[in-house]
């Protein structure tokens, strides 16, 4: 070898290596060697260098096993250095296996094929896996399809893994056992689904229970048993019928081979109670059932296991309107119902609760026909009338035009208040529309009380006053002075205590006659009914009576050309009145 005029230290080293002919290209490579001796858990290996190297026996053993090595065996080792301070070659079996394993793993990773490895240790967040010399990381979430509490049974056992990612420069490999299991399971599911058919009856084990159903293991594939397919009767929660671990017989309802989902049913193995439901439950038939569920729009009543009907809120009570069904019935209560409608195809039955009870409107009509007098409490006052509570928990309405005579509807409404007890006449009853029309003023209509007289031509009928005495407007009656006041007289008509009032201006035609003090308590006098106040008390007038008598007297006993004086005419009229009396 040619040398430089002034050789350096590196030149001398190269010349020395060349002269020895050893170590050229050995360092950093995997070479084959022969075991020449085994000393104190160390294997002495000759790789063709000037000196031999030593490798620990544990590097030749698989995880969890002992090394099976003897003198004369040929092995592959990695040459780290040709010679160390002790003059020996530095060899590594682990490094040789690792380098060979990386080459193989990179090829398998590129083809997405599975690799075989052994779980041999625990680290933070997962486990370590030996892949024929290369150490990989197995995250805890990738051990199994479901969380595994104890991994001990899986350790030190060769099993397949899937490489998720690898970085040779950094020496990082991440593997997954879960991916292999999912792929295997998918293959098994596909094969199992192909062997199943809709309508098939099969046994399975309940694996999990949810609010909406249960998952049943059919031998490698799960099927969903929905809560509505557990039984024909209402089931609140699947745990009411099955428990985890139960072996159940189910029928396959549907199979979706694309999504690999299977729907199961248990009630399909029972006889359908809806068959012949129309014959079993005829329209207007009366049956006893149990309330199973209450909603805002009604209540469900179970007629028999598997058959429920709905009582709509409008069919729950004759009298309670706009009331939540929970205030009329309670869950598990037994009730009598009437069949209103049956739709066997849609599995629906409409029931009536109130139809199984006496119609209070018919009962009221039997007890209180039109024209009868009823008494009740004012339940509500509206802008168009009064609602009166009657027998049988029904209400009747008095229109404002039927409250009182001689006043407007608004004024008549103001005469009464909620909670007041009143009497009324039944005017009309419509049982279909559940309406009762009442009248209050009709109780007040009638003739003039006994002992009273009316002018010719009569007058409008007025209210009935007191215990049967009736007054007509413009009727002339005899009254008794009960009290003398500055504004007029309080008077009483008849013996039944009906009181009225004569205003000061109605005490006479002339101003000097309009003095209340000229009358005495207990004095009797005649007066004319001129109207009624808001409280239905009559108003009397002596002045109106005098003017009416004068007009009548002129018409009967004199005229403008008779030549008779007004005194003569009135005298004749008074004489005729006395004679009549």
Percent with pLDDT over 70 in the chain: 81
**Two structure tokens written together for 533:** 């106040």
Query: Cα–Cα distances in Å, from 457 out to 256, 453, 454, 546?
Result: 96, 12, 8, 16
List, as one string, the DSSP characters of 351-389. Answer: EESGGGS--HHHHHHHHS-TT-EEEEEEEEE-SSEEEEE
The pLDDT of residue 190 is above 90: no
The pLDDT of residue 145 is above 50: yes
Contact between 264 and 295 (Cβ < 8 Å): no
Contact between 539 and 551 (Cβ < 8 Å): no
pLDDT digits (tens, 9 = 90+) for 3-20: 455 666 556 555 545 544
Q: How far, in Å, CA of 266 to CA of 264, rounded?
A: 7
Q: How far, in Å, CA of 383 to CA of 385, rounded?
A: 6
CATH architecture of 114-182: Beta Barrel (2.40)
Q: How far, in Å, CA of 262 to CA of 246, rounded?
A: 19
Of 3.40.50.970, 3.40.47.10, 2.40.30.10, 2.40.50.140, the CATH number of 196-269 is 2.40.50.140
Which has the higher per-residue pLDDT, 546 or 558? Answer: 546
Model confidence pTM above 0.75: no
pLDDT digits (tens, 9 = 90+) for 41-63: 787 877 777 667 777 777 777 66
3-state secondary structure of 99: helix
What CATH number should be reported for the domain whose range is 462-557? 2.40.50.140
φ, ψ dihedrals at 362, nearest 5°: -65, -40
Of 1.10.3720.10, 2.40.50.140, 3.40.190.10, 2.160.20.60, the CATH number of 25-113 is 2.40.50.140
Give the residue-averaged pLDDT of 125-136. Answer: 87
pLDDT at 555: 72
Query: Apex CA 309: angle with CA 305 and CA 314, to 5°?
Result: 155
CATH architecture of 360-444: Beta Barrel (2.40)
pLDDT digits (tens, 9 = 90+) for 419-460: 888 889 988 888 788 888 998 888 874 433 333 333 333 344
Q: How far, in Å, CA of 127 to CA of 175, rounded?
A: 10
Residue 568: how many CB atoms within 10 A of its CB? 14
The topology (CATH level 3) of 280-356 is OB fold (Dihydrolipoamide Acetyltransferase, E2P) (2.40.50)
569 band by pLDDT with thresholds 50, 70 and 90: low
The pLDDT of residue 22 is above 80: no
The pLDDT of residue 241 is above 50: yes
List, as one string, the DSSP characters of 207-236. Answer: EEEETTEEEEE-SSSEEEEEGGGT-SS--S
Contact between 439 and 397 (Cβ < 8 Å): no
pLDDT at 460: 45
Mean confidence (pLDDT) of the chain: 79
| Beta-strand pair 435-439/394-399 | parallel
160 band by pLDDT with thresholds 50, 70 and 90: very high
| Beta-strand pair 538-541/498-503 | parallel
- According to CATH, where is 2.40.50.140 located in the chain? 25-113, 114-182, 196-269, 280-356, 360-444, 462-557
335 band by pLDDT with thresholds 50, 70 and 90: very high
pLDDT digits (tens, 9 = 90+) for 521-541: 888 888 998 887 656 678 889
Residue 528: how many CB atoms within 10 A of its CB? 25
Instruction: Look up tokens 């490489």; give the residue.
Output: 163
């Amino acid at each position: 070898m040619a040398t430089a005029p002034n050789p350096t230290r590196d030149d001398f080293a190269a010349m020395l290596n060349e002269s020895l002919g050893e170590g050229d290209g050995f360092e950093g490579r995997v070479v084959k060697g022969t075991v020449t001796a085994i000393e104190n858990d160390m294997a002495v290996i000759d790789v063709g260098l000037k000196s031999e190297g030593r490798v620990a026996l544990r590097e030749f053993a698989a995880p969890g096993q002992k090394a099976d090595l003897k003198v004369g065996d040929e092995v592959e080792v990695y040459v780290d250095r040709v010679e160390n301070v002790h003059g020996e070659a530095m060899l590594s079996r682990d490094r040789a296996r690792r380098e060979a394993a990386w080459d193989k793993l990179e090829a398998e990773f590129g083809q997405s094929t599975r690799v075989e490895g052994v779980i041999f240790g625990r680290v933070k967040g997962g486990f370590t896996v030996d892949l024929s010399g290369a150490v990989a990381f197995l995250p805890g979430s990738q051990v199994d399809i479901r969380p595994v509490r104890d991994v001990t049974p899986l350790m030190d056992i060769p099993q397949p893994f899937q490489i998720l990612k690898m970085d040779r420069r950094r020496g990082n490999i991440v593997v997954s056992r879960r991916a292999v299991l999912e792929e295997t399971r998918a293959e098994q599911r596909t094969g199992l689904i192909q062997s199943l058919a809709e309508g098939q009856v099969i046994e399975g084990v309940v694996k999990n229970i949810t609010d909406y159903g249960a998952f049943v293991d059919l031998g490698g594939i799960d099927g969903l048993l929905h809560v509505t397919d557990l039984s024909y009767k209402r089931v609140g929660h699947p745990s009411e019928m099955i428990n985890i671990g139960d072996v159940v017989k189910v029928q396959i309802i549907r199979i979706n081979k694309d999504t690999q989902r299977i729907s199961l049913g248990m009630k399909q193995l029972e006889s359908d109670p809806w068959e012949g439901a129309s014959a079993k439950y005829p329209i207007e038939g009366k049956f006893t059932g149990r309330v199973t569920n209450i909603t805002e729009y009604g209540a469900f009543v179970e007629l028999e296991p598997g058959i429920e009907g709905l009582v709509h809120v409008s069919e729950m009570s004759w009298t309670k309107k706009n009331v939540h069904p929970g205030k009329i019935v309670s869950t598990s209560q037994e009730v009598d119902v009437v069949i209103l409608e049956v739709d066997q195809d849609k599995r629906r039955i409409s029931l009536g609760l109130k139809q199984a009870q006496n119609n209070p409107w018919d009962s009221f009509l039997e007890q209180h026909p039109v024209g009868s007098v009823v008494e009740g409490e004012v339940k509500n006052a509206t802008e168009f009338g009064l609602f009166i509570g009657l027998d049988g928990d029904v209400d009747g309405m008095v229109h404002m035009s039927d409250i009182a005579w001689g006043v407007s509807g608004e004024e008549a409404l103001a005469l009464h208040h909620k909670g007041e007890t009143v009497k009324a006449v039944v005017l009309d009853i419509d049982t279909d529309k559940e309406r009762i029309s009442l009248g209050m003023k009709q109780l007040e209509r009638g003739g003039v009380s006994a002992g009273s007289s009316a002018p010719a031509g009569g007058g409008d009928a007025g209210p009935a006053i007191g215990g049967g005495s009736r007054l007509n407007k413009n009727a002339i009656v005899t009254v008794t002075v009960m009290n003398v006041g500055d504004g007029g007289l309080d008077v009483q008509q008849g013996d039944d205590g009906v009181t009225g009032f004569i205003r000061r201006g109605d005490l006479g035609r002339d101003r000097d006659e309009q003095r209340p003090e000229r009358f005495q308590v207990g004095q009797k006098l005649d007066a004319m009914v001129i109207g009624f106040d808001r409280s239905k008390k009559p108003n009397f007038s002596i002045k109106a009576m005098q003017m009416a008598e004068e007009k009548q007297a002129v018409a009967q006993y004199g005229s403008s050309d008779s030549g008779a004086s007004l005194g003569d005419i009135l005298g004749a009229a008074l004489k005729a009145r006395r004679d009549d009396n």
